[in-house]
Amino acid sequence: MTHEMPSRPQSAFADDEDEAAQAEFKLLSAEEARQWREQHPALSPWRIVAWQAVAGSLAAGLTWLVSGRDALAGSVLYGALAVVLPASVLARAMSRRSGAAGAALAGFFVWELVKIVLTVAMLVAAPKVVPGLSWPAMLAGFVVAMKVYWVAMWLHPARRRSPAKNLN
């Protein structure tokens, strides 16, 4: 006596959904892929690091102008540096990598771990490195620099293009 598993009831729309998914997917020729890459340029990690440095410097300068206290401005600047320096290490490491996708992914995880360890080490060392450290000011600088990712993505040239240009 054999027992067969009952078949799973299928939605009446399952075939339609599969067909729609297949219709949306289109293999690109080499020329079409090249055109797509030209229309959708990659966001450089160096541009993000530069924006982080600018945002951290502006935050530190604004803190100094408002408070007049060097220790507060230095704390904000150090917080931003705790983001910028590790991010630049990761950007440098990833820009030098080439090869198989699996190796690149493994390299990314290793360098992301290095970035996290370096960030934590900088935050732990902050009381010894920054005279008169203000933790809230340092964390404010840290957060300002971290949030630049969103601003950089928003200001990315591919995002600002009109959708009509991308309908070719």
Whole-structure pTM value:
0.68
pLDDT-above-70 percentage for the chain: 73
pLDDT at 98 over 70: no
Are 153 and 43 spatial neighbours (Cβ–Cβ below 8 Å)?
yes
State how far the Cα of 84 lies from the Cα of 67, in Å rounded to an integer: 24
Segment 79-91 shows an average pLDDT of: 94
Stronger pLDDT, 147 or 19, i.e. the higher one: 147
Range 118-141 average pLDDT: 94
CA atoms of 1 and 46, how far apart (whole Å): 67
Question: What mean pLDDT do residues 124-151 have?
Answer: 92
Q: Give the pLDDT of residue 2.
A: 52
151 vs 16, higher pLDDT: 151
Query: The tokens of 121 are what?
Result: 């080490």
Helix 45-67 × helix 148-155 angle, to 10°: 120
pLDDT digits over 41-78, tens only?
777 788 888 889 999 999 999 999 999 899 999 999 99
| Residue 7: band (very low, low, confident or very high) from pLDDT cuts 50, 70, 90 | low
Least confident range from 36-50, 83-97, 137-151: namely: 36-50
